[in-house]
Amino acid sequence: MTSAKRRIVVLISGSGTNLQALIDALNTPALPNAEITLVLSNRKAAYGLTRATQANPPIPTAYLALQPFLKANSGKTREDYDTEVAKIVLKAKPDIVVLGGWMHILGENFLNVLEGKTKVKGEDEMAITRPVAMINLHPALPGQFDGANAIERAYEAFTQGKITKSGAMVHKVVKDVDRGEPVVVREITFEVGESLEQYETRLHAVEHEIIVQATKKVLDEVNLVSVSPFYCCPQS
């Protein structure tokens, strides 16, 4: 009997090369028995949206950006935006949410919904019975360069002789940015004389590996719990 595929939702903001790594790994030994049920971007021009629509089979996409949301919904706040993002994500019934270059800090409204602490109004199928796993890809080592522009900041520290290595990690998503439990960590030693571009090329190659490894690792952990986060049956 074939078991239901494990459902992955990917959040992006840019080119989506890490999304592409996940797409390419689907249903190979690297990422078996899995499907991407939604790619959500907060930037309309994100090429990752194109990668999703050009995938075979095509992957559903969604777009929701903070500023247009606030402009179109006067009186609504960043917290309301986070709640809306959570609703869009839950409709895709993820077993895991992967932030693959998602350049928006997710507030407690989002986290509480995905963790099942806050129930969102709407169809029953959005109700969850246990937390949805959430991981983020970050281009630095744990506690080294939290936040945005980590690659450039690490490279700058190297050129100033402050560090000799950096790397990339995938970590659990918690409220404090990039402070969640590391899932996969890979160190990269800088090469003397290498340019930022040369370092970035080496770093991205590592990222494309660890995002797949981390997604499989967490899905396998989720599977040990052996149930989807979602209700099997409509509420009585």
Q: Tell me which residues touch ligand LMY7XDAE (CB under 6 A).
A: 99, 102-106, 136, 138, 147-148, 173, 175, 177-178, 180
Shortest distance, position 56 Cβ to ligand LMY7XDAE, whole Å: 29
Dist. CA 200–CA 26, nearest whole Å:
25
Q: What is the largest CA-CA distance in the chain?
A: 66
The two structure tokens encoding residue 137: 């890809």
Which residues does the annotation mark as catalytic?
138
The two structure tokens encoding residue 82: 């986070």
Candidate list 6, 8, 9, 17; residue touching ligand GAR; CB under 6 A = 17
Using CB under 6 A as the binding rule, whether residue 15 contacts ligand GAR is answered as yes
Using CB under 6 A as the binding rule, whether residue 148 contacts ligand GAR is answered as yes
CB 173 within 8 A of CB 180: yes
Comparing CB distances to ligand GAR, the nearer of 86 and 140 is 140
Site for ligand GAR in 65-124 (CB under 6 A): 100-101
Q: Is the torsion defined by CA of 70, 60, 136, 124 positive or negative?
A: positive
Comparing CB distances to ligand GAR, the nearer of 39 and 92 is 39
Using CB under 6 A as the binding rule, whether residue 37 contacts ligand GAR is answered as no
If phi over 0 gives left and psi between -120 and 50 gives alpha, with beta otherwise, what is residue 183?
alpha
